[in-house]
């Protein structure tokens, strides 16, 4: 199982794609088949936004397309069992990225993807999408489209998905409500602390200005 994003990146750069075999999905790695999403239907486009936003809301990571996988025994994750390599002409990564750009808010910084040729098989390879770790101030990334009875309902409901181990899990209604009430906890506290310090400095500066005016007045009275 990958522990660092750089381990996945090394395989991509080396193009030795056999190294994906036996790897288990986790919070930074998701294995996808060649045709993981049906982008001709709303539900397929929704799934793309859901999976990408879940990684952006956690630690970032790689989604790699062209890997067959199956449930790992006695574990809540999948393991890569076989390569399902495909040609560059069959790659839909650019379409997936376009759908994510349209269906996720705010914009995910540094997201990219492409097709990579296998070092051992000319003309065949995998596709990948890389989601870099995002700064906490930009989280959480929202899904901006709801699928209901096969139709896209724009501007009505948003959702937040997070990556928990190998799963994409939606925030519960209670979690969303708590976040709104608490202002995301520590960030709200830090902002309050900063505001308090600014207010204190402002009052201190005003006192110094008042004292300076009083001193200036006394000097003028003495010099008369």
pLDDT in tens, 36-60: 899 998 888 889 999 999 999 999 9
CATH number of 5-171: 3.30.950
For the segment 75-83, the average pLDDT, to the nearest whole number, is 93
What integer best gives the mean pLDDT of the chain? Answer: 83
pLDDT at 207: 62
Cβ 32 vs Cβ 67: under 8 Å = yes
pLDDT at 156: 43
Q: How confident is the model at residue 80 (pLDDT cuts 50, 70, 90)?
A: very high
Helices (H) and strands (E) in the chain, counts: 5, 10
Q: What is the DSSP letter of 111?
A: -
pLDDT in tens, 202-223: 666 666 566 666 656 655 565 5
pLDDT at 16: 97
If we measure between CA atoms, which residue out of 13, 5, 139, 6 comes closest to residue 61?
5
pLDDT in tens, 11-20: 999 999 999 9
pLDDT at residue 64 is higher than 50: yes
């Amino acid at each position: 199982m990958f522990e660092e994003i750089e381990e996945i990146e090394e395989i991509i750069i080396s193009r030795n794609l056999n190294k994906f075999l036996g790897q288990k999905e986790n919070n930074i790695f998701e294995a996808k088949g060649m045709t993981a999403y049906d982008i001709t239907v709303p539900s397929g486009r929704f799934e793309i936004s859901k999976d990408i936003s879940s990684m952006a809301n956690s630690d970032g990571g790689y989604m790699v397309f062209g890997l067959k996988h199956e449930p790992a025994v006695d574990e809540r994750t999948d393991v890569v069992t076989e390569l399902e390599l495909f040609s560059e002409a069959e790659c839909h990564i650019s379409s997936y990225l376009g759908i994510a750009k349209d269906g996720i808010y705010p914009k995910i910084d540094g997201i990219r993807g492409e097709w990579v040729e296998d070092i051992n098989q000319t003309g065949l390879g995998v596709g990948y999408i890389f989601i870099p770790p995002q700064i906490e101030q930009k989280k959480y990334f929202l899904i901006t489209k709801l699928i209901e009875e096969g139709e896209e309902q724009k501007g009505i409901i948003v959702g937040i998905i997070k990556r928990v181990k190998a799963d994409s899990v939606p925030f519960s209604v209670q979690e969303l409500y708590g976040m709104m009430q608490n202002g995301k906890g520590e960030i709200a506290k830090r902002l309050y602390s900063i505001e308090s310090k600014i207010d204190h400095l402002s009052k201190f500066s005003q006192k110094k200005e008042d004292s300076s005016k009083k001193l200036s007045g006394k000097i003028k009275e003495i010099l008369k």
